Amino acid sequence: MGYGDEAQVDGEQSSQIENKPKIFLMGLKRSGKSSIQKVVFHKMLPNETLFLETTNKVVKNDISNSSFVQFQIWDFPGQLDFFDPSFDYEHILNNCGAIVFVIDAQDEIGEALQKLHQTISKVYQVNPNIHFEVFIHKSDGLSDDHKIDRQRDIQQKTTEDLMDANINVHPSFYVTSIYDHSIFEAFSKVIQKLIPQLPTLENLLDVFISRSRIEKAFLVDVVSKIYVATDNSPVDMQTYELCSDMIDVVIDVSCIYGLKEEEEGLGYDQESHSVIKLNNGMVLYLREVNKYLALVCLLRETNFDKHGLIDYNFICFKKAIEEVFARKTASRKKGKKITN
C-alpha cells in the first residue's frame, strides 16, 4: 500500500501550489533521493531501488496519511538547475517547510558540499524559515569509523562555510541508509519539525508513560512507520525497530486471520491491539489510536502486572489525542471561513 498521487510536474504545473507544507528532496544525481521516497512512502524493497531510472522531471507526491502528517514531497532530479532563472524557484519556496539534501557518503563529497552551500545560501535569502536537513546517505557501505569521519567532515565543512558567508543557518545532519531503520528515524525527525502540535503530543506521551511505568512509547503512522512523536527519553534505534516491526506483525496476522473472506483492507481498525512478551523480560504493547496512528510501547514484564491501569491510562490518552485532532480540524475550518 502506498500514498496518494504521484504526479510528474513541469514548470507550469509547479506553479499550482497547494497549501500543504512541502518537503523538497534535493542533491546530486544518483545520491538516492527517489529511493528514499519509494522505500519510506511506497513500501518499495531497498533492493528494488537498484533498478530505478534517473528522474527527469520534478516528481510530486501527496502524503495525506493522517491529520497530523499532511504534506507533499517533491523529488528534484539531480541534473536540474534549481536556480535557473527560467525556473520559478522563489514562488515554489514560499510554501516549503523543509529541504532534505541527500549526499552520497560513498562518493566524492566535494561537489555535493558545494551544491549544498549554494542551495542553502540562495534558499535562505528567499525563505529563512525553511528547515535544512542533510542526509549523509548510503551509510551501509561504510565501516563505523569511516561513518563517523564522513559525518564529522561534512558537518564541519558545511558549518564553517556558512559561518564564513555570514549565513545564520544551522542544518541538521543524519546518517542514513535505506537498508536499515535509519532512514525512517531521520524522516520522522524531519516531519516532526513540521507538526505544530508536537510539544502537546510529547507531553501527553510523557504523562502516559510515567503513570503507566512504561520505558518508551512511540506514536507511529501505521503505513509509513514514521513516528509522529515519542516521549522525551532518548530514542534507541533497536527499540524503534522493534516497535515498528510489531506493527507489521499485527497487520500481517490481522490480514491472514482477522479479515472476513473476500474482505479487503489494511487489517487495522479500532479493534487492533496486541501484547507481545519478549524473551528478555520486556513486553511490547500496541493500541490503535485512530485510523492512521498506533501507540507502540516497550515496558518491563514486571510492570505489566497492572495492565488494567495501563489500559485505563491509554483510554485517557486516546481521548486527549482526539481533542487535539478536533481542535486542529476546527481551527482549519475557521481559517477557511475567514479566508472565504
CA-CA distance, 118 to 112, in Å (whole number)? 10
CA-CA distance, 61 to 100, in Å (whole number)? 15
Q: The C-alpha cell of 266 is what? A: 489494511
Cβ proximity to ligand GTP: between 53 and 264 the closer is 53
Cβ neighbours of residue 11 closer than 8 Å, sequence gap 6 or more: 86, 87, 88
Q: Site residues for ligand GTP, window 65-94 (CB under 6 A)?
A: 77-78
Q: The C-alpha cell of 304 is what? A: 505489566
In whole angstroms, the minimum distance from the beta carbon of 114 to ligand GTP comes to: 16
Contact between 325 and ligand GTP by CB under 6 A: the answer reads no
Contact between 177 and ligand GTP by CB under 6 A: the answer reads yes
CA-CA distance, 19 to 75, in Å (whole number)? 18
The Cα-based distances of 88 to 17, 29, 33, 59, 98 in angstroms read 12, 21, 22, 16, 18
Cβ proximity to ligand GTP: between 137 and 287 the closer is 137
Cβ proximity to ligand GTP: between 145 and 261 the closer is 145
In whole angstroms, the minimum distance from the beta carbon of 74 to ligand GTP comes to: 12
String of contacts with ligand GTP for each residue 6-45, x by CB under 6 A: ---------------------x-xxxxxxx----------
Cβ proximity to ligand GTP: between 145 and 264 the closer is 145
- Bridging pattern class, strands 71-75 and 22-27: parallel
- DSSP helix/strand/coil, 2: coil
Cβ proximity to ligand GTP: between 148 and 163 the closer is 148
Contact between 55 and ligand GTP by CB under 6 A: the answer reads yes
In whole angstroms, the minimum distance from the beta carbon of 276 to ligand GTP comes to: 29
Contact between 147 and ligand GTP by CB under 6 A: the answer reads no
- Bridging pattern class, strands 96-104 and 22-27: parallel
Question: How many alpha carbons lie under 13 Å from residue 197 in its C-beta half-sphere?
Answer: 20
Helices (H), the chain: 33-42, 89-93, 110-126, 144-164, 182-192, 198-212, 237-253, 307-339
Q: Using CB under 6 A, which of 7, 111, 118, 141 touches ligand GTP? A: 141
Q: Which residue has the cell 563517523?
A: 148
Cβ proximity to ligand GTP: between 178 and 299 the closer is 178
Helix (H) or strand (E) holding 60: strand 58-63
Contact between 137 and ligand GTP by CB under 6 A: the answer reads yes
- The footprint of ligand GTP on this chain (CB under 6 A) covers a number of residues equal to 22
String of contacts with ligand GTP for each residue 270-309, x by CB under 6 A: ----------------------------------------
CA-CA distance, 59 to 9, in Å (whole number)? 6
Binding site for ligand GTP (CB under 6 A): 27, 29-35, 49-50, 52, 54-55, 77-78, 137-138, 140-141, 177-179
